[in-house]
Amino acid sequence: MNNLSQIKDYILKKTLENAERASGRLPVATDKDGRFTYGKIEDWRAGFWPGILNYCYLMSGNDRYLEYAESYHTAFVDRLYNKKETLDHDIGFLYIPTEYARYKIKGCSDSLKATIDAADSLLERYNEKGKYIVAWNVWENRGEFGKNNVRRMIIDCMMNLGILFEASELTGDNKYFEAAKNHGLTCMKTIVRPDFTTFHTYLFDMETGKPDKGETWQGHSDSSCWSRGQAWAVAGFTMAYRYTKEKAFLDTAIATADKFISFLDDNYLPAWDFVFRNTGAVPDASASGIAACGLLELSEYVTESKALFYKESAKKLIDSLWNNCILCNDENFEALVNRCTGFYDQDIDVDAGIIYGDYYFVKAIAKLCGAQWII
Spell out the alpha helix ranges (H) of the chain.
4-22, 48-60, 63-70, 73-82, 91-95, 101-106, 109-123, 143-147, 161-171, 174-190, 227-244, 247-262, 285-298, 304-325, 355-368
Q: Cα(20)–Cα(25) distance, rounded to whole angstroms?
A: 10
In the chain the first and final C-alpha atoms are separated, in Å, by 24
Contact 50, 56 (CB under 8 A): no
User: CA 355 to CA 47: how far, in whole Å?
Assistant: 9
CA distance 163 to 173: 13
Instruction: Show the CA angle centred on residue 217, arms to residues 119 and 97, nearest 5°.
Output: 30
Nearest alpha carbon to residue 250 among 310, 333, 210, 204: 310
Note if 156 is an active site residue. yes
Which member of 110, 120, 156, 222 is catalytic? 156
Active site residue 90: yes
Active-site positions read: 90, 156
